[in-house]
Structure 1
Amino acid sequence: MKVETLSVSKYCCGTDYSGRSFGHVYNARENVSLAYPIANPDACKNSDLFLLTLVFSSTTNINQRDAVRRTWANQTLVQGFPVRILFFLGSTQTSAAQKDLMAESDRHRDMVQGHAVTDSSLRGPTERTVLALRWVITFCPVARFVLLTKDSVFVNLPAIGGYLLGLHRHPEDLYLGRVIQRDSPDRDPNSPGYLPPALYPDKYLPEYCDGTTYVLSQDVIRKVYVASTAVRAPVPADVFVGLCAQKAGVAPTHSARFAGEQHIHYNVCCYRYLFSSARMSTNELDRVWADQGQKGGRCSLLKTYSGLVTCKALTYLDKLPFFNSQGQAESHG
């Protein structure tokens, strides 16, 4: 694992980890009408696009998408550099639901929908992630960095963008997030995620970034996508990306500013420093965004430090049964 550093990748010049050309992945345009019912092919027309954010969302989560649209996704520049936020969705169950989705897409023009057109051993979120990577390679190769997240997450785009701009290195070989270490494979034969020793003999899974929010540079998008054709492990999507990254020779970079799956107790200076906070309701997104706007300006180092101590202490207390029940009682009072 790397810790908030970048190294220039030795894998470059349009080849993957085995030296093969990436050219074949661009043939995806030929099957676009089948693989992507909502393709949004012109979403990345800006050749100077700095950061593309793909927000994974359930087709029925329109209220959550609207909350994201009017809060943290309501920005097009970070320190003068163009950013673009798109929602990535899977298949609908009925023609009526698809019609509603198409109408939403026509209104906002910020959606991509993908579904598999071939028999695949990948399922659910893993398959959706691979489709998202394929879409980026096909339609958004200009984006220097791609952030993948969920519609229940508050994402601090200015902080993430500032961090990426401050790396002062070539934008290559970056797989950035909250790194999970020494995670054991699922060895329960009755579990849908069962990973038999014959398929994966190691005691621990490779280090990987928690899938709630993470960033890939454009070259890593390609490497992970190419490696995905050779990885067929029944694991969660974020573990799958980690396996593909390992196969491609890419090590994850850790930043504790990503909250992972944690919901961080709100504090204005804490949230200005952190990159993300998970499990946010629509009301919380609205409240946090309004408060961030009303309390404009920067936080001093002292206020940032005290804010981090406060929000992390309260986050810890929120997990304790007594404080949790007290909080729930107050919220329902």
Structure 2
Amino acid sequence: MASCSLCKLRTHQWCFLLFNVLLFHALLFGADFVEEYLLQPTPGVYTDGIVVDVRERARKLDLSNARENISQDYPMTNPNACRNSDLFLLTLVFSSTANITQRDAVRKTWANQTLVQGFPVRILFFLGSTETFAAQKALMIESDRHGDMVQGHAVADSSLRGPTERTVLALRWVIAFCPVARFVLLTKDSVFVNLPAIGGYLLGLHRHPEDFYLGRVIQRDSPDRDPTSLGYLPPALYPDKYLPEYCDGTAYVLSQDVVRKVYVASAAVRAPVPADVFVGLCAQKAGVAPTHSSRFSGEKHIRYNACCYRHLFSSAVMDSDGHYQRM
């Protein structure tokens, strides 16, 4: 019946439908070109002493000789995960220790690739501490089977401190054991990531990948001023009306130099905020501005067609049974 109705459409009605289809795709795909050419942060002249100091210390940072001592903070270090000196993109997937169902779903779907347009990529799961010996033993067995896990001594996920501490440990691990990766993608085991699309975008950049912090940028987000809240941020600790711009934590990309800058700056950031806000605060202290891309879907639940999903960088969330659902 629907096909018969379409056949009866007049010329002007067909034109109207075609115009709307073209307009929708132009807005979706055209936004990417606008972001790349008009919204890229311009190189700055840094006069702030703190910014200059962070950037200089990040430039000189070398943890390669401290790997043995650093390994004590990682029950599962996986030191040979980045043996490929040509590694283009490293993806760290933050996962709770009990989420084996989600990790297996990731392995069977978007993480089952080692190349993007001929360039090496690596996907690893980053986990925090376990609470029991049995749980740790299960993780060790899983790690031996797949070889794609890193574990840091981070506290449980039930507090804001947990994800933030895990992020700092992950960045430290990258600097010590994977400094060859040109880009680092941070995401979660509940997110579907389109690695071919992200890799193609990064390979097509028209500028040197420095100070590169790409994701769905959150603007004018207010600090939590509720004294009863876990994430309470008192004005004495953070007086500004709005938080700095930051990339939504579902998925974002850092160039290797930004990994180092954020890590160095993290030592001076003590605000009780979510991990993605924490990274934004550290980036601000390092003089790094985030770049927005609408191709990261963030937490939004919108139904696109199949063509659009091939264009998006992150496009789904996974339910508790390990099945991906389109947003």
TM range (shorter): 0.7 to 0.9
| 1-structure distance, mates of 2:91, 2:283 | 19
Hey, what does 1:111 align to over in structure 2? 149
| 2-structure distance, mates of 1:278, 1:192 | 28
Mapping of 1:153-172 within 5 angstroms?
Answer: 153-172=191-210
| 1-structure distance, mates of 2:119, 2:283 | 27
Q: What is the deviation of 1:19?
A: 2.5
Mapping of 1:1-333 within 5 angstroms?
Answer: 3-4=35-36, 5=40, 7=42, 17=54, 19-20=56-57, 22-23=60-61, 25-26=63-64, 28-116=66-154, 123-265=161-303, 267-281=305-319, 284-285=323-324
Q: What is the deviation of 1:261?
A: 1.5
CA contact (8 A) 1:53 1:84 kept: yes
Per-residue Cα deviation, 1:129-174 (whole angstroms, up to 9, x for no partner): 0000000000000000000000111100010111111112111110
Q: What is the deviation of 1:7?
A: 4.9
Per-residue Cα deviation, 1:288-309 (whole angstroms, up to 9, x for no partner): 8xxxxxxxxxxxxxxxxxxxxx
Per-residue Cα deviation, 1:62-102 (whole angstroms, up to 9, x for no partner): 11101100100001111111000000001111101101100
Q: What is the deviation of 1:278?
A: 3.9
Relative to 1, partners in 2 of residues 1:219 and 1:94: Cα closer, same or farther, differing over 3 Å? Answer: same
CA root-mean-square deviation: 2.3
Q: What is the deviation of 1:31?
A: 2.4
| 2-structure distance, mates of 1:191, 1:27 | 41
Q: Percent identity?
A: 80
Bigger mean CA deviation after superposition, 132-141 or 272-281? 272-281
| 1-structure distance, mates of 2:239, 2:41 | 30
Relative to 1, partners in 2 of residues 1:223 and 1:75: Cα closer, same or farther, differing over 3 Å? Answer: same
Q: What is the deviation of 1:107?
A: 0.4
Per-residue Cα deviation, 1:167-214 (whole angstroms, up to 9, x for no partner): 121111100000000000011111111111111110000000001100
| 2-structure distance, mates of 1:77, 1:8 | 31
| 1-structure distance, mates of 2:240, 2:53 | 25
Give the partner amino acid of 2:291: T
Q: SS state of the match for residue 149, structure 1?
A: strand
CA contact (8 A) 1:172 1:220 kept: yes
CA contact (8 A) 1:88 1:113 kept: yes
CA contact (8 A) 1:264 1:278 kept: no
Give the partner amino acid of 1:271: Y
Q: What is the deviation of 1:265?
A: 2.9
Relative to 1, partners in 2 of residues 1:218 and 1:16: Cα closer, same or farther, differing over 3 Å? Answer: farther
Relative to 1, partners in 2 of residues 1:59 and 1:116: Cα closer, same or farther, differing over 3 Å? Answer: closer
| 1-structure distance, mates of 2:268, 2:280 | 13
Q: SS state of the match for residue 279, structure 1?
A: strand
Q: What is the deviation of 1:263?
A: 3.8
CA contact (8 A) 1:56 1:150 kept: yes
Relative to 1, partners in 2 of residues 1:9 and 1:41: Cα closer, same or farther, differing over 3 Å? Answer: farther
Relative to 1, partners in 2 of residues 1:185 and 1:17: Cα closer, same or farther, differing over 3 Å? Answer: same
Give the partner amino acid of 2:76: I
Per-residue Cα deviation, 1:20-55 (whole angstroms, up to 9, x for no partner): 353354455132342100000000000000000000
Unaligned 5+ runs, structure 2: 1-33, 47-51
Give the partner amino acid of 2:243: L
Q: TM-score, normalised by structure 2?
A: 0.80
Bigger mean CA deviation after superposition, 263-272 or 101-110? 263-272
Hey, what does 2:20 align to over in structure 1? none
Unaligned 5+ runs, structure 1: 289-314, 316-333
Give the partner amino acid of 1:19: E
